[in-house]
Amino acid sequence: MNNISIEELEQKIEVGEEVIDRYFDPDTTRVGTPRLMTSRRDQSQTVTHLEMPNLMLDELDQMASELNISRQAVIKMILRRALDEHYLAKRSLGAE
């Protein structure tokens, strides 16, 4: 697999380049609830304050370093995954 920053990946997607086979491993990539793919420019955002233990921040920074992305991107990625898993669990229970 090739390493690429999220910004470079977004640029390739925006111009219509196929990135799935080149940058994602289908054996390890989790699939959640499909979401409409939008650019960051198309989303309104709210700044929030989040308190967490320093040890957790250290873990997030380590993951960010390994993935070559920002801490903020790691937090968003983990939250997105958690939300997708929540929706999948609700669907499997017939709650939707």
- How high is the pLDDT of residue 56? 95
Q: List the chain pLDDT tens, one digit each, 96 residues.
A: 457 787 887 888 888 887 777 776 666 655 555 555 555 565 678 888 889 999 999 999 999 999 999 999 999 999 999 988 888 888 878 754
- How high is the pLDDT of residue 59? 96
Q: Which of 81, 82, 58 is nearest to 71 (CA)?
A: 58
- How high is the pLDDT of residue 52? 93
Q: Do the beta carbons of residue 33 and residue 88 sit within 8 Å?
A: yes
As given in the structure block, the two tokens for residue 54 are 């320093």
- How high is the pLDDT of residue 30? 56
